[in-house]
Amino acid sequence: MIIAAADGSALGNPGPAGWAWYVSDDCWAAGGWPRATNNQGELTAVLELFRATAHLDDELLVQCDSQYVINSVTKWMAGWKRKGWRKADGAPVLNRELLEQLDAELAGRRYRFEWVRGHVGHPMNEAADERARAVAEAYRRGGDIPSGPGWAGGCEPATAAASAALPAGSAASEPAVPAASALADRATEDAALFDFDEPEADWRTLSLELTTEEHTRLVERARAAGQTPEEFLRGLI
């Protein structure tokens, strides 16, 4: 199994942005744009990870702190495709081009997603986040873009590289996470402030009443994602 983290970063959202996937210090890649959104960075990180490993038959465990990406792949994409890449309210799905490319890369692949909380010291997630943010910062300053070695000699064999990337006692030594199709079964209140399925009914307005604690959590998670609370909620919905 290949264990890799994928993350994106946008300064301003939209603004200078970067993406990165990380297996080890010898096996990672990054890129970005002068202006993009955080969700575009998150999606591209996963897309480029699948492209980089397309020549391998190993199962891919993707550690990701974006529930937007995980839900898009495991919950919403099938419905969006049936509706012609439109949401239940008829509005076009955002980031369709990236989602279609990711959908094509997923075909025939063995993979799992594992949600990890961002910005809490998870070693793989932090490594990917640091590299994605470094690209965003480079675009903001006009400096050289740190693109990484890619899937070079340091990545082989895949299983050894993945194991070496995590210290003992970390997520790699824990019991295997469930397959992507079962990811929703393990969601807890602590794993997400809101975790909506793509709605089937036609609706246009959603009203929410939050306690002071819930509002604080929303603001903290939005700040960690580099978004306003409103943008963060729209991404979840």
pLDDT band at 231; cut points 50, 70, 90? low
* Phi then psi dihedrals of residue 94, to 5 deg: -70, 150
User: Domain holding 154: CATH number?
Assistant: 3.30.420.10
Burial of 195 (0-12, 13-18, 19+ CB in 10 A): middle
Burial of 61 (0-12, 13-18, 19+ CB in 10 A): buried
Q: Determine which of 39-43, 174-178, 203-207, 232-236 has the lowest per-residue pLDDT on average.
A: 174-178
| R_g of the chain computed on alpha carbons | 17
Answer whether residue 182 is part of any domain.
Answer: yes
Burial of 208 (0-12, 13-18, 19+ CB in 10 A): exposed
Domain count, the chain: 1
User: Looking at this protein, which amino acid is placed at residue 146?
Assistant: P
Quick check: 162 and 40 in contact, CB under 8 A? Answer: no
Quick check: 111 and 180 in contact, CB under 8 A? Answer: yes
3-state secondary structure of 29: strand
The first and second tokens of residue 84, run together, are 């012609």
Cα diameter, the chain:
52
pLDDT tens-digit readout, 54-104: 999 999 999 999 999 999 999 999 999 999 999 999 999 999 999 999 999
The first and second tokens of residue 234, run together, are 């729209």
3-state secondary structure of 10: strand
- pLDDT at residue 186 in the model: 36
Answer whether residue 156 is part of any domain.
Answer: yes
Q: Determine which of 153-157, 191-195, 227-231 has the lowest per-residue pLDDT on average.
A: 191-195
- How far from chain centre, in Å, is Cα 177? 17
- C-alpha closest to that of 165 among 27, 56, 15, 1: 27
Residues catalogued as catalytic:
7-8, 42, 65, 119, 129
- pLDDT at residue 212 in the model: 65
Degrees to nearest 5, angle at CA 95 with 94 and 97: 130
Answer whether residue 152 is part of any domain.
Answer: yes
Answer whether residue 194 is part of any domain.
Answer: no
Domain containing 103 equals 2-186
Quick check: 23 and 165 in contact, CB under 8 A? Answer: yes
Q: What is the pTM of this model?
A: 0.69
Answer whether residue 205 is part of any domain.
Answer: no
Answer whether residue 211 is part of any domain.
Answer: no
3-state secondary structure of 35: strand
The first and second tokens of residue 58, run together, are 């190993």
Quick check: 138 and 145 in contact, CB under 8 A? Answer: yes
pLDDT band at 160; cut points 50, 70, 90? very low
Answer whether residue 237 is part of any domain.
Answer: no
Answer whether residue 217 is part of any domain.
Answer: no
